[in-house]
Amino acid sequence: MRRHLVTAMLVLAVIALFAIPLLLDGDSEYAGTDSQATELVQESDPDYEPWFSSVFSPGSSEVESGLFALQAALGGGVLGYVLGRLRGRRVAEKAAGQPAGRAGRRRPGAGPGPGAGAHLRPGRAGAAGVPHDRRADRGRAGGQRRARLGAGRRGPGR
């Protein structure tokens, strides 16, 4: 419930960011910064000549706006594809039982994560580097598991 409330509040805040300036100053013309900068330079130095001209200039402002929207859509599509691909890889790794990302990211002693099984823990279950299932140390079968594996933390015979 709280998550939905936060999402709704964020959506309303974004809408307000766009609506309030339009309502406060609705009769003004909005122009791009390029045209505003060009006008300012021409006012301050009428003899100024540009260094170069555009390679392509669209025929009208509608075409220019459409090309800008196309560029934004392509960028959004590429970004969505990359993020979806990364998420899909992470989900596939979790389903296969592999830890997502680098192995060194987990906190020591945090317990097994999803799909975790045997871990290499030096100084436990006999020799260093021998696979040891941390979940077996807890719960009803912990003592039996330690007895089968060897000394463990408590030493032999305990």
Write out the two tokens for 28: 């003004």
Domain boundaries, the chain: 69-95
pLDDT digits (tens, 9 = 90+) for 21-65: 878 876 666 667 777 888 898 899 888 888 888 888 888 888 988
* pTM, 2 dp: 0.38
pLDDT digits (tens, 9 = 90+) for 65-114: 899 999 999 999 999 999 999 999 999 999 988 655 555 455 555 555 55
For every residue of 106-124, DSSP letters joined together read SPTTS---TT--EEE-TTS
